[in-house]
Amino acid sequence: MSQDLFPDTLALPGLTYLPGFALGDEADLVRAVLDVAQGAAFRRMKTPGGREMSAAMTNCGAAGWVSDAKGYRYARLDPLSGAPWPEMPAIFRALAERAAAAGGFAGFTPDMALINRYEPGAGMSLHQDIDEQDFSAPIVSVSLGLPAVFLWGGLSRAEKPARLPLNSGDVLVWGGVARKFFHGIAPVKAGAHSLTGTARLNLTFRRAL
């Protein structure tokens, strides 16, 4: 069932919250993440300013999101191995397409997924997803493992973000006028989850190329 976050206002259209949408696929999704990580290890990238990000990342699909001294970008090859990123698991693509359709973006097919791994204390500061070629495509974001608080701002960094608690199996879809809204993840609290242990995993599906 889809649920509009702020049904009484037009202030934040474009974000669809699908609580528990991926619950039936949780175990298979986590297994697929481990498969991807066999081919392209999780690593903590550096911002262009030289700061190590707190979330560890890897990618699958036609390109991977990377960050280093040269900036943020999509790369067809994994800079760690020099090889293409692992293929996107079929279960990833199927879930992303179903969720996008449920969020009003029927026909969306991701060409990559960025996978974030948050250990306790790790988070993601407010940012926009703006390195992709095609902003008509939405972002589909899947949460697995430890809970987190999603921060949902606006078009300007100054806007105070709303706080949306996310649990394992929850999916968010945002696009259209909200495609470039600032968002982030508050530092993840320590805990244990039967499938992911001490971590939260996030799959972010995009049309990057």
Ligand X SMILES: O=C(O)CCC(=O)C(=O)O
- Contact residues toward ligand X (CB under 6 A) are 114, 116, 124, 129, 141, 143, 150, 183, 185, 202, 204
Task: Tell me which of ligand X, Mn ion, none is bound by residue 21, counting a contact when its beta carbon lies within the kind-specific cut-off of 5 to 8 angstroms.
Answer: none
Least separation in angstroms between residue 13's CB and ligand X is: 19
Token pair listed for 141: 């974001």
- State the minimum distance, in angstroms, from the CB of residue 192 to ligand X: 19
Residue 168, binding choice from ligand X, Mn ion, none, Cβ under 5 to 8 Å by partner class: none
Residue 68 or 82: the one with the smaller Cβ distance to ligand X is 68
Q: What is the distance between the alpha carbons of residues 203 and 209, in angstroms, rounded to a whole number?
A: 18
Residue 97 binding partner per list ligand X, Mn ion, none, with a CB distance cut-off of 5 to 8 Å that depends on partner kind: none
Q: Which residue's CB is nearer to ligand X, number 97 or number 129?
A: 129
Nearest residue to 198 (alpha-carbon basis) of 121, 103, 107, 96? 121
Binder of Mn ion out of 129, 181, 182, 202 (CB under 5 A): 129
> Of 23, 4, 21, nearest to 12 (Cα)?
4
Structural contact between residues 72 and 45, judged by C-beta atoms closer than 8 angstroms: no
Nearer to ligand X, 8 or 14 (CB): 14
Question: Least CB distance from residue 141 to ligand X, whole Å?
Answer: 5
Residue 92 burial (C-beta neighbours within 10 Å; 0-12, 13-18, 19+): buried
Instruction: Indicate whether 132 belongs to the interface with Mn ion (CB under 5 A).
Output: no
CA 88-86-61 angle, to 5 degrees, is 45
Contact, 116 vs 145, CB < 8 A? no
Binding region for Mn ion (CB under 5 A)? 129
